[in-house]
Structure 1
Amino acid sequence: MRVKRYIVDTMPDAMQKIRGELGSDAVILSTKELRIGGFLGMFQKKKIEVIAASESTEKVAPKVEMKRPSVPASPPITRQAIPQAYRKSSEMMSNSSSAIGLKERPVVASLEMSTASEGVVQVSRASPTVDNTQQQMLDERLSLFLDSQPKETVPSATAAPHLHRETKEDRLFEEIQQMKSMMSKLARQQEGVRELPAALSVFQEQLQSHEILPELADEWIEAVYNEWVALDQKLTDEELNKLIRIKVGSFLSDNIGAGISEQTKIVYIAGPTGVGKTTTIAKLAADQIFRAHKKVGFITADTYRISAIEQLRTYASILNVPLEVVQSPGDMQRARQRLAGCDLILMDTAGRNYLNELFVAELHSLFSPSEQSETYLVLSLTSKIQDMKRITENFSRHGLQKVIFTKLDETESIGPLYNLLNEFPLKASYITNGQNVPDDLLSVDLKMLTNLLLDEKS
Structure 2
Amino acid sequence: MKMKKYTAPSIAEAMKLVRSELGDDAVIINSKVVVTKKLFGLVRHKNFEVLAGVDRIDSKPSSRFPDLQANTEFIKPTELPQQTKVHIDDSFTNELKSEISDLKLMLQSMQRDAKLSELPEEILLFIDYLKRQELDDELITAISDELFVHHQNSESPLSNQIMEKIAKGVLIKKLAELPLGGLSYRKKYINVLGPTGVGKTTTIAKMAARCVLEKKKKIGFITTDTYRIAAIEQLKTYANLLQAPVEVVYNANDYQQAIEKFANLDLVFIDTAGRNYKEARYINDLKKIINFNEEVESYLVLSLTSKESDMEAIIKQFNEFAIGKFIFTKVDETNSIGTMYNLMIKYNKGLAYYTNGQEVPEDIEEANLDNLLELFFQGEFK
Could you say which TM-score interval applies, normalised by the shorter chain? Answer: 0.7 to 0.9
Q: What is the letter of the counterpart of residue 295 of structure 1?
A: K
2:263 aligns to what SS in structure 1?
coil
Residue number in structure 2 paired with 1:341: 264
Amino acid at match of 1:189: D
The one-letter code of the counterpart of 2:329 is: T
* Contact 2:143/2:166 (8 A) holds in 1: no
Partner of 1:174: 98
Between 256-265 and 176-185, the greater mean CA deviation after superposition: 176-185
Quote the residue 1:205 is aligned against. 128
User: How far 1:188 sits from its partner (Å)?
Assistant: 3.3
Aligned partner (choices 218, 221, 225) of residue 144 of structure 2: 221
Shift of 1:335: 1.6
Deviation at 1:385, TM superposition (A): 1.0
CA RMSD of aligned residues (A): 3.2
Q: 2:295 aligns with which of 362, 372, 378?
A: 372
Closer/same/farther in 2, CA of residues 184 and 257 from structure 1, 3 Å limit: same
Structure 1: gaps (5+ residues) = 1-127, 144-152
**323, 334, 346: which is aligned to 1:400?**
323
- SS state of the match for residue 281, structure 1? helix
The separation in 2 between residues aligned to 1:291 and 1:366, in whole angstroms, is 31
Match of 2:111 in 1: 187
Paired residues in the alignment total 316
Higher relative contact order (CA 8 A, sep 6+): 2
Shift of 1:252: 2.6
Distance 2:85 2:111 in 1: 45
Q: Deviations over 1:231-285 (max 9, x none)?
A: 4556853444433332222223233522110212111111111111111111111
Q: Deviations over 1:335-390 (max 9, x none)?
A: 21111111111100111111223322332443434443211111111111111111
451, 454, 457: which one pairs with 2:374?
451
1:415 match: 338
> How big is each residue's C-alpha offset from its partner over 1:60-84, in whole Å with a ceiling of 9 and x where there is no partner?
xxxxxxxxxxxxxxxxxxxxxxxxx
Is 2:248 the partner of 1:358? no
**CA 1:129 to 1:329, structure 2 compared with 1: closer, same or farther past 3 Å?**
farther
Cα pair 2:192 2:298 within 8 Å, conserved: yes
Aligned to 1:136: 26
- The amino acid across from 1:378 in the alignment is V
Q: 1:332 aligned to 2:222?
A: no
2:106 is matched by which residue type in structure 1? M
Within 2, Cα distance between the matches of 1:360 and 1:131?
A: 55
Does the aligned pair in 2 maintain the 1:287–1:438 contact within 8 Å? yes
Give the 5 Å matches for 1:31-430.
Answer: 132=19, 136-137=26-27, 165-196=89-120, 198=122, 200-229=123-152, 231-233=153-155, 237=159, 238-430=161-353
Gap regions ≥5 residues in structure 2: 1-14, 29-52, 58-79
- Cα deviation for residue 203 of structure 1 reads 2.9
Q: What does residue 47 of structure 2 align with?
A: none
How far apart are residue 176 of structure 1 and its match?
2.5
251-260 or 428-437: bigger deviation: 251-260
Give the AA of the match of 1:136.
A
Classify 1:135/1:381 alpha carbon distance in 2 versus 1 (closer, same or farther; 3 Å): farther
Contact 1:206 1:453 in 2 (8 A): no
What's the CA shift string for 1:168-194, capped at 9, x where partnerless? 433233223332333333333323312
- What's 2:31 paired with? none
Structure 1 residues 173 and 417, CA, compared in 2 at 3 Å: closer, same or farther? Answer: same
Q: Which amino acid aligns with 1:323?
A: V
The residue aligned with 2:66 is: none
Q: How far apart, in 1, do the equivalents of 2:99 and 2:300 lie? A: 38
> Does 1:440 pair with 2:363?
yes
**TM-score, length-normalised on structure 1?**
0.62
Is 2:196–2:274's contact at 8 Å kept on the other side of the alignment? yes
Alpha-carbon distance in 2 for matches of 1:301, 1:223: 49
Please tell me the residue identity of whatever aligns with 1:363.
L
CA contact (8 A) 1:298 1:316 kept: yes
Q: Distance in 2 between matches of 1:250 and 1:347?
A: 34
TM-superposed deviation, 1:302: 0.6
Q: Which residue of 2 aligns with 1:89?
A: none
SS of the residue aligned with 1:297? strand
2:101 and 2:287 mapped to 1: Cα distance? Answer: 37
Cα distance between partner residues in 2 of 1:233 and 1:371: 57
In the TM superposition, residue 228 of structure 1 has moved relative to its aligned partner by: 4.3
Query: What is residue 37 of structure 1 aligned with on the other side?
Result: none
